[in-house]
Amino acid sequence: MFIKIDFESEMPIYEQLRRQIIKGIARGDLAKGEQLPSVRQLAEDIGINLHTVNKTYNILKEEGFLVIDRRKGAMVKDTMPLAEEEYTGYLHSEMEYIIANSYCRGITKEEFLKLCKAIYDGLDNK
């Protein structure tokens, strides 16, 4: 698993790590049932505090992406979480902001949809 953290970013490290793990699952870089590095090992590999990795793993467990076993550690869950009403509300709010920001920057609807399609198609071709 390749993780790159931007220590200069305003986005918290745990959130960067969370997003990269979810993208890794979506792209197929992390297979369902695959064991992730131990908290200590991943923290050491990318040079962050082990409590940050632990926080990320626990958030991903709560969201339904990981299962955590005391003996085996963190593993990608065999079944992914469904897009329930709470998530679709969150998605709408985030997309509304992203679309408004893009609109203000002069990105046309066609350019935006083309970019969305390219990203989504990249996940479908895993």
Phi, psi of 36 (to 5 degrees): -90, 160
pTM to 2 decimals? Answer: 0.88
- d(CA 84, CA 69) in angstroms, rounded, equals 26
Burial of 21 (0-12, 13-18, 19+ CB in 10 A): buried
Query: What pLDDT sits at residue 1?
Result: 66
Burial of 99 (0-12, 13-18, 19+ CB in 10 A): middle
Q: Report pLDDT digits (tens) over 43-79.
A: 999 999 999 999 999 999 999 999 999 899 999 999 9
- Tokens at residue 13, please? 């490290």
- d(CA 78, CA 65) in angstroms, rounded, equals 9
Q: Report pLDDT digits (tens) over 87-126.
A: 999 999 999 999 999 999 999 999 999 999 999 998 976 5
CATH architecture of the region 13-76: Orthogonal Bundle (1.10)
Phi, psi of 113 (to 5 degrees): -65, -35
What does the domain layout of the chain look like in residue ranges? 13-76, 85-124
